[in-house]
Amino acid sequence: MMMIGVDIGGSKIELAALDAAGAFVLRRRTPTPVGDYAATVEAVGDLVDAAERELGEGSSVGVATPGALSLATGRVKNANSTCLNGRALKQDLERRLGREVRLANDANCFALSEAIDGAARGARVVFGVILGTGVGGGIVVDRRVLEGANAIAGEWGHNPLPAPQPRDLPLPSCYCGRSGCIETYLSGPGLAADHARAGGERLAPEEIVVRGEAGDDACAATLARYEERLARALASVVNVLDPDAIVLGGGLSNVARLYDGVPRLWGAHVFSDQVRTRLLAPVHGDSSGVRGAAWLWEQDRLLEDAAPPGGAPRGPVTLREITAENIDRVGEVRVVGEQRFHVASVAKTFWQARGRDDLWMRAIYAGEDPVGFVCLRVRDDEAYIARLIVDFRHQGRGYGHEAIRQLIAHARTLPGCNRVTLSHVPSNARVARLYGRFGFRHTGIVDEEGEIEMRLDLA
């Protein structure tokens, strides 16, 4: 199956389709409808539709976007493309495309791309840095994006520049309302502003780099200050995160002197007798955003392939009737550890309806221990999975897989049953991955509550 990545930028929206090995199969671009949210969603949808027609097959879709999704609202926050802020971009794209979509910050996508098959391939902990119009960052651990409790992991650009020195003063004001942010020194505009403050001409960042490398004393001095400040700022990241590799991205990642100069300087600020962290230039450069977006789906498969199994089952997995003797034990099943109520009421509701011909309910047993339960609702020629719950204390041992296998086998015995369906909320990607292994595929149907339907045809 192809992997499609989409990178929503300020001036362009780029799409790339990758094969399983990460090679480009197709790339397309379209101008970003600046300031028009609805047109942006439609532009992404049109790009994906056209790509899949050209490829002749469906695909997973990942999207890189400025900003991040608020954990409180599920809507975009902190995007410099301001028409996205406060919008339910993920849900709107899923409705437009009729399938689940992965969405992540563009700096996270950059870091993921370089961690999976780029400059930091093979490194366990990777910090990806964006040095461009702004300063951003992303963290990848074991080839998986780390978003953080507040969805801001890696956002180092709005920390204060460490250990400010006289030449760093006065602290520049930042648009975020603070002063002395790393971004005000290390972004492209920050570099240009520093050169002007030091008495130089008002030059574009690119011109400062070119002149500095050609021997212009003022520009060379500006680059030296930039290099030393970058060393201080990255040293604080090393002290907190201790990454195996730091990969630079954005326009200023093309300044060759940084890769030798910064590691020579940051040791004075790192709390260690040696610094093994590598500072690396990107392999994929400007393509890392769209590549990382495509890898958003595959990061879970890559992680699962590398991870050991969750543990062996306690005993044979069987599906048993829910009776008066076991209902209380079955009702002790919990979805998550922090859950303050048992799901006994759900189980008992199903049990009380056990006389109905259209419901098939069973407890999932591992040996002699109930570890979950399932409910199948039969209607016309279809069996609908109303519930499949495995206790959080017993997950990762294959119980859910075996329960699905037996559930499908039972559905095949039902007279006239041609398919099994289920629906899940778009954010529950684990459901899609799990059922996808059994041949369930998204139908493109999204109900009024935003839940996405999957189907397995039995015929």
Show me where the domains of the chain are located.
2-103, 119-282, 317-457
Between β-strands 452-457 and 441-446, what pairing exists: parallel, antiparallel or unpaired? antiparallel
| Phi then psi dihedrals of residue 215, to 5 deg | 105, 5
CA 66 to chain CA centroid, nearest Å:
13
In angstroms, what CA-CA distances link 220 with 195, 264, 282?
10, 17, 24
- The CA dihedral of 400, 406, 408, 412, to the nearest 10 degrees, is -170
Nearest-angstrom CA–CA distance, 95 and 326: 42
Nearest-angstrom CA–CA distance, 166 and 425: 54
Residue 285 one-letter amino acid: G
Asked whether this chain's domains 2-103 and 317-457 adopt the same fold, the reply is no
Domain range 2-103, CATH architecture: 2-Layer Sandwich (3.30)
Nearest-angstrom CA–CA distance, 264 and 246: 15
In angstroms, what CA-CA distances link 417 with 202, 379, 409?
74, 9, 11
The secondary structure element, H or E, covering residue 28 is strand 24-31
**Sequence-separated contacts (24+) of 40-46 with Cβ below 8 Å:** 40/8, 40/13, 40/83, 40/84, 41/89, 41/92, 41/93, 41/96, 42/96, 43/13, 44/6, 44/8, 44/13, 44/93, 44/96, 45/93, 45/96, 45/97
∠ CA(21), CA(110), CA(436), 5° rounding?
Answer: 50
Look at residue 362 and give its three-state secondary structure: strand
What's the token pair of residue 176?
A: 């975020």
The 10 Å CB-count burial string (b at 16+, else e) for 379-390 is eeebbbbbbbbb
Please tell me the CATH code under which domain 119-282 is placed: 3.30.420.40
What's the token pair of residue 185?
A: 């020194």
Does the bond joining 162 to the residue before it have cis omega, within 30 degrees of 0?
no
Look at residue 224 and give its three-state secondary structure: helix
pLDDT in tens for each of the 459 residues of the chain? Answer: 689 999 998 889 999 999 888 889 999 999 999 999 999 999 999 999 999 999 988 888 999 998 888 877 889 988 878 899 999 999 999 989 988 899 999 999 999 999 998 999 989 999 999 999 889 999 999 888 998 878 889 999 999 999 999 999 999 999 889 999 999 999 999 999 999 999 888 999 999 999 999 999 999 999 999 999 999 999 999 999 999 999 999 999 999 999 999 999 999 999 999 999 999 999 998 888 999 999 998 775 655 444 434 444 456 788 988 877 887 777 777 766 544 444 455 555 655 655 667 788 888 988 888 888 888 888 888 999 988 888 877 777 778 888 898 888 888 888 889 999 998 877 677 777 788 878 888 888 887 778 888 999 986
Superfamily of domain 317-457 in the CATH hierarchy: Gcn5-related N-acetyltransferase (GNAT) (3.40.630.30)
∠ CA(443), CA(444), CA(445), 5° rounding?
Answer: 90
